[in-house]
């Protein structure tokens, strides 16, 4: 199991000796937060496109199938299927509670990407849970595990090994090139 908090990845990189050049740059420390790019504005509308849509009004569920593309602000999700659970009052109320994506799930936002087999997005809580061979990528940094949980409000997240190990590769930032003499 591997747990990250905002800036904790920076500390891990520093301890590993991979980013000694970043030690005096707080802005660089912030940019290495492995989940900070998933933080976003949850008040934005959620847009969904797919090959087909089935609505089960009695269950408050809408099922999108085939080449699903969903987005909320800069947060984008693609999957084979997306089940949307909405509040009482019908699908027209805009009260989406939960999104469940299945099959080749890919989540991206400005700085990070995450891929897995299944993802759940609890809209009210601002929380995402992804399972099934999860790979999280930020620039040249990669974290792999069985499950990924992200709090979109804080940018904090956690990767679990699911009985196995969490595997990570951290790539140091390039150093500034030497300045030419005048």
Closest-CA residue to 5 (of 29, 41, 40)? 29
Grade residue 39 by pLDDT with cuts at 50, 70 and 90.
Answer: low
Q: Please report where in the chains the tokens 């040249």 appear, as a residue.
A: 140
pLDDT of res. 160: 95
In this prediction the pTM is: 0.69
Distance, in Å, from the CA atom of 98 to the CA atom of 104, rounded to the nearest integer, reads 18
Residue 19, pLDDT score: 23
Instruction: State the pLDDT at residue 182.
Output: 62
The fold of 2-169 is: lipopolysaccharide transport protein A fold (2.60.450)
Answer whether 68's CB lies under 8 Å from 79's CB. Answer: yes
Distance CA(168)–CA(115), nearest Å, equals 15
pLDDT at 82: 97
CB of 157 within 8 A of CB of 4? Answer: yes
Domain boundaries, the chain: 2-169
Q: What residues contact residue 19 under an 8 Å CB cut-off, 6+ apart?
A: 10, 13, 28, 32, 170, 172, 173
């Amino acid at each position: 199991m591997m747990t990250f908090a905002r800036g904790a990845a920076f500390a891990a990189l520093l301890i590993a000796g991979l980013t000694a050049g970043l030690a005096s740059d707080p802005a660089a420390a912030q940019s290495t937060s492995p989940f900070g790019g998933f933080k976003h504005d949850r008040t934005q509308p959620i847009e969904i496109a797919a090959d087909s849509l089935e609505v089960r009004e009695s269950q408050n569920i809408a099922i999108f199938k085939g080449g699903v593309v969903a987005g909320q602000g800069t947060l984008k999700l693609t999957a084979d299927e997306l089940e949307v659970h909405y509040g009482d009052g019908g699908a027209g109320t805009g009260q989406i509670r939960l999104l469940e994506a299945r099959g080749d799930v890919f989540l991206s936002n400005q700085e990070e990407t995450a891929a897995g087999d299944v993802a759940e997005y609890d809209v009210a809580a601002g929380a995402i849970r992804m399972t099934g061979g999860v790979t999280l990528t930020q620039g040249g940094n990669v974290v792999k595990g069985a499950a990924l949980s992200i709090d979109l409000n804080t940018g904090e997240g956690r990767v679990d090994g699911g009985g196995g190990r969490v595997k990570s590769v951290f790539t140091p930032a390039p150093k500034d090139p030497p300045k030419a003499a005048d």
